[in-house]
Amino acid sequence: MATDTRPSNPVTSDISRNHADANIGMSTRSVHAGELRQKSEGAISTPMYCASTFTFESTDSLLRFVEGEEEREEYGRYGNPNERSVERKLAAIEGAEMGIVYSSGMAAIVGLLMSKLSSGDEIIFFDQCYHRSREFCSKHLARFGVTTHQVTTGDFDAMAAAINDRTKMLVSESPTNPHLTCIDLEKFVDVGKSHGVETLIDATLATPYNLRPVEYGVDYVLHSATKYLGGHNDLLAGVICGTTESLQSVRNLRGILGSVNSPHNLYLLERGLKTFELRMQRHNENGMRIAEFLHSHPRVDRVYYPGLASHPSHSIAAAQMRGFGGLITFTVRDADWKQTSRVVDATRIARIAPSLGGVETLIEQPLVMSYYHCTPEDRKRFGIEDNMIRLACGIENTDDLIADLDQALSQ
């Protein structure tokens, strides 16, 4: 597979080579890293390469490529200059050697698991996880002979006990959705390393601004880039970060399966990343202040936000995370599901929609949005309460958002 040997930005290519270098500012990386220093026509921003295929000037040139003497583009499914640029930027932001982007977060986890698992293998999940990830493993990987085990989130003894010689991967989110449980990454990695099993963290809710799983030795970091990385609620994408060696087979399989992005999408993702640090600072500020507001509101019963001392994961979060993100889950005091819906419907700024991490604030009631067709027993098992609301804070003015929630809760 071709890798770009053209000079990237001299300042920021250093980041890729020495990803532990903490001296380069996050925002400097997100603006410059991964891009070519001198782009086509001298353009300041990466041009959009809408080409589906790439031409060879002669048979000799083609031979140089197939014999591996020249690294370059070939066909859009195997790679594209826009993809290369944004993958290098994402890797630099994550502090990883390599990033691979996919057409969605689900395509990314599917791409990784399909590449790493074979019939007879087993994986272990912590049980608080995105319901579609769980569904893919338990319903679809099962058809290919892969067994999925679930253990209680954060129970490392149970996780270790579930490992056998067929176990290939340990999987968790941190923070989890919608309970915002944070995983002790040192312990998580320790369980994996002591048993020789690879680890995967879905850090979508944390982002590399708030959490650095690679620095703890996590093997694979997954993001739904649709969320904070894209950041504008206007694209779908996913990314897997890890070492070049471990991801080569994953990249090869993506070239076959084809879950790649269009150049338009890749361009929007690259553009969104330029303001990544700024947006995250605002998401963190809004998240923290609004969580505190909700915590002290008489109509709110319980607030799940890892920045609050009352959250069960607070000490882990405080030790591992720089900020706590924009996602808050809370329950409305003494409300049934309909009364809870009325609070959702009464907000004027927040919009009712799934997803999170964009500049616009979104709100949803998990019971209705994602768990409506579950049995009450399953909802109870997943910790989804009737009076639960999930709020994904955008970057709007904090006082405006608080005033809006206050009036919605007062109706």
Partner 1 sequence: MTDRDYSFRTRAVHVGNEVDPATGAVIPPLHFASTFRQPGAGVWGQYDYSRSGNPTRTALQNTLASLEGACGSLAFSTGMAAIHCVTMLLSPGDQILAASDIYGGAYRLFHKICGSAGIGVTLVDFTKPDVVAAAILPNTKLLWGETIGNPQMSIVDLPAIAKIARDANVLFGVDNTFGTPALLRPLEHGVDIVMHSATKYLGGHSDCLGGTLAVSNPELRDKLYYIQNATGAVLDPMSCFLLSRGLKTLDIRVRAQSETAMRLAKWLCDQPRVSRVLYPGLVDHPGHAIASRLMGDHFGSMITFELLADKAGTAAVCQSTKLFCLAVSLGAVESLIEQPATMSHASYAAHDRERFGITDGLIRISVGLESFEDLRDDLAAAMDATA
Q: Write out the residues near partner 1 by the rule CB under 8 A.
A: 10-11, 23-28, 30-32, 44-45, 232-234, 271, 274-275, 277-279, 281-282, 348-349, 351, 353, 355, 358-360, 362, 394-397, 399-401
Smallest separation (angstroms) from partner 1 to the CB of 156: 37
Nearer to partner 1, 246 or 275 (CB): 275
For residues 92 and 287, what is the distance between their CA atoms, to the nearest angstrom? 26
Nearer to partner 1, 257 or 278 (CB): 278
Smallest separation (angstroms) from partner 1 to the CB of 232: 6
Q: Which residues pair with 328 in a beta bridge?
A: 391
Nearer to partner 1, 173 or 270 (CB): 270
Smallest separation (angstroms) from partner 1 to the CB of 11: 5
In sequence order, the 6+-apart residues with CB closer than 8 A to the CB of 118 are 145, 146
Smallest separation (angstroms) from partner 1 to the CB of 359: 5
For residues 44 and 62, what is the distance between their CA atoms, to the nearest angstrom? 30
For residues 111 and 254, what is the distance between their CA atoms, to the nearest angstrom? 6
Smallest separation (angstroms) from partner 1 to the CB of 268: 8
Alpha helices in 95-163 (DSSP H): 105-116, 131-135, 156-162
Q: Residue 127 corresponds to which tokens in the numbers above?
A: 């049980």
Stretch (H or E) spanning 375: none
Smallest separation (angstroms) from partner 1 to the CB of 236: 12
DSSP states along 22-34: TTS-HHHHHHHTT
DSSP states along 344-373: HHH-SSSEE-S---SSS-EEE-HHHHTSTT
Amino acid at 18: N
For residues 356 and 359, what is the distance between their CA atoms, to the nearest angstrom? 9
Nearer to partner 1, 14 or 74 (CB): 14
Residues 93 and 270 sit within 8 Å (Cβ to Cβ)? no
Nearer to partner 1, 27 or 248 (CB): 27
Residues 201 and 221 sit within 8 Å (Cβ to Cβ)? yes
128 DSSP 8-state letter = S
**Tokens 């084809």 sit at which residue?**
258
Nearer to partner 1, 16 or 233 (CB): 233
Nearer to partner 1, 149 or 283 (CB): 283
For residues 134 and 112, what is the distance between their CA atoms, to the nearest angstrom? 15
Q: Residue 209 corresponds to which tokens in the numbers above?
A: 């601004």
Smallest separation (angstroms) from partner 1 to the CB of 224: 16
Nearer to partner 1, 111 or 358 (CB): 358
Smallest separation (angstroms) from partner 1 to the CB of 375: 28
**Helix and strand tally (H, E) in the chain?**
17, 12
Smallest separation (angstroms) from partner 1 to the CB of 367: 19
Nearer to partner 1, 48 or 158 (CB): 48
